[in-house]
Chain A
Amino acid sequence: MKKTLLILGAGTGGTMMANKLRKKLDADLWRIVIVDKQPAHYYQSGFLGLVFGARKPGQVAKPKKQFIHESVELIFAEVEAILPEENRVLLRPDNRPISYDQLVIATGTDISPEENPGLLGGGWQNSIFDFYTFEGAQNLHQALKHWKGGRLVMNVAEMPVKCPVAPLEFLFQADHYFKAVGLRNKVELVYALPIPEVFTRPEVVPIFEGMIEQKDVKVHPDFYLKSVDSEKQVIDSYTGDQLDYDMLVTIPTNMGAKMIARSGMGDEFRYMPVDMHTLQAEGYENIWVIGDAADLPCPKTASAIHGMSATVVENVLRLDAGKPLAKTFDGETKCIISVGGKSCFLLAFSYTQPPKPGKYPLPGIGPFSILKPTRGNYLAKRGLLGMYWNLFLPARYTPPRYTKGERNG
């Protein structure tokens, strides 16, 4: 009888895992099954492109089925719960069981606007928008097209969020967009966030602060969102501060899949505690966690997924062979931030290496510059969309690492 490798979630992490494992696991010995609740795969880095009209919906959403190797069994169903003691997962609606030998949890994170009273009130998707969802990004695009100006508040409700760079990127692009449509003098840009500085990594705070000032964004640090009054168009903080808005762009509280809590697993955000180097779930020998579902002190960008999936593939094989686990994941991530117009900023760091200026992929040569806005970085960002769909997801190519150390991919 074949062994089963079961993957929950067919987003970036799950899809890349399925395709990498299909190349490594003998199809005569292993069955690979992947479960997801909905059929569309989103290129999430493209959501901001949707907001500002640089991308069309068809470029950032495609059928999941198209990117998963044909010999991987793809099931569309919602997971009721994981029964880790029985090595089984139950699927909705009829608790159909799937047994596994090894399990990969890749169920990601989602926005939970219900966590703050009033956020889902009458203003939701009318004067309050998100861009962490495909629908939200499209609605915000439409709203911006018809907006006459006023006070736009970008608010992060609670940390941690999936991508801490995204609100800054939104503001930089908003400044550019409003200038381009001749509205900038009628728009006040405000950034209210629940941390003391504009970014989580102190090494790059001065750079981002400079950009924020240059783009005339007013910052309200340490703003801990309590509730929203969408009739009066005011947000309230726990410290008694109030900010009024004409348009509120929110990053609501981010939380993991409800299935994690139904399984009696996960932390207060429904994320899975894992070993930060092996990605093995704490307390479960044959469960691995990849992407946003993991409670890891690093961003879970698609670029981090390259390193994560390499480590998990290796450890699936090692566990099966009874060998010691590889402790190779080092938290490396790279992200390209659009700062408006045809200029982008490249950021790269890991658990141990802070962001610092340099060139990528060839040290000293580049052609891409780290911590510096350039047109070359912009061209790289433009090219990423095609690479994501055609090379990264099918596991045909892994981009070079930036930080030193053993290569993961």
Chain B
Amino acid sequence: MDDEDRNQSKFDGQGYLLDHTTWTRQVGELLAEELGLELTEEHWQLVEYAREVYCQTHKTPTRRKLVTELGVDPQDLFVLFPSSPMRKLCRVAGLPKPKNCL
């Protein structure tokens, strides 16, 4: 990520955007690059959905929500965002780290 983007947006210690309203697609692309992800149409669909959910509810979506409401195959989520899909998806989408809801 170049300096200009770093300056425009502020991140927490783990690389999550602090203010989701400062997110742009370009920021999303740069964050994906940091995670070693090349974004496809399928990634973008999930990123946009996650942002929509967060804007409406102020909650990051759960994996189950993506599966039940978008009809995504859970295994595909692990292909698109390997190892920890919800953390990576939220990071790319400029949302806070999922809280795991204690």
Contacts and interface: CB of A to CB of B under 8 A. Distances in A.
Interface in B56-90: 57, 62-65, 67-69, 74-75, 77-78, 82-84, 87
Given A160-B100, A268-B62, 13 more contacts: A159-B101, A160-B102, A164-B102, A200-B99, A200-B101, A200-B102, A201-B102, A226-B74, A238-B75, A239-B83, A268-B65, A268-B67, A298-B102
A222 B102 contact: no
A364 to B, nearest CB: 27
Given A239-B78, A269-B62, A297 B101 contact: yes
A158 B101 CA distance: 11
B13 to A, nearest CB: 11
Nearest to B102: A200
Contacts of A268: 62, 64-65, 67-69
6 contacts: A159-B101, A196-B84, A222-B83, A226-B74, A238-B74, A297-B99
A204 to B, nearest CB: 11
A329 interface: no
Interface on chain B toward A: helix, strand, loop, or mixed SS? helix
Interface of A: 158-160, 164, 195-196, 200-201, 222, 224, 226, 238-239, 267-269, 273, 297-299
A222 B84 CA distance: 7
Interface on chain A toward B: helix, strand, loop, or mixed SS? loop
Lowest 4 CB-CB distances: which A-B pairs, in order? A160-B101, A200-B102, A238-B78, A268-B65
B78 A224 contact: yes
A159 B98 CA distance: 11
B61 to A, nearest CB: 9
Nearest to B97: A196
Nearest to A267: B65
Nearest to B83: A239
Nearest to B66: A268
B78 to A, nearest CB: 4
Contacts of B68: 268
Contacts of B65: 267-268
Contacts of B67: 268
Contact of B82 (A226, A239, A298, A299): A239
A158 B64 contact: yes
A266 to B, nearest CB: 11
Given A239-B82, A239-B83, A269 B102 contact: no
Nearest to A115: B64
Contacts of A201: 102
A299 B77 CA distance: 28
A278 B30 CA distance: 40
Contacts of B57: 273
Nearest to B62: A268
B91 to A, nearest CB: 13
Contacts of B63: 158, 224
Nearest to A197: B100
A159 B100 CA distance: 6
Nearest to A238: B78
B99 A269 contact: no
* Most chain A CB atoms below 10 A, which of B62, B84, B102: B102
Contacts of A159: 100-101
Nearest to A271: B101
A134 to B, nearest CB: 24
* Most chain A CB atoms below 10 A, which of B68, B75, B101: B101
B69 to A, nearest CB: 7
Nearest to A201: B102
Interface in B12-71: 57, 62-65, 67-69
A64 to B, nearest CB: 28
A151 B62 CA distance: 31
* Most chain A CB atoms below 10 A, which of B65, B75, B78: B78
Nearest to A269: B64
Contacts of B82: 239
A195 B100 contact: yes
Contacts of A196: 84, 87
Contacts of A195: 100
A246 B65 CA distance: 33
A307 to B, nearest CB: 16
Contacts of B62: 268-269
Contacts of A158: 63-64
Contacts of A200: 99-102
Contacts of A226: 74-75
A119 B10 CA distance: 44
A216 to B, nearest CB: 25
Nearest to A255: B64
A330 B71 CA distance: 35
B59 to A, nearest CB: 8
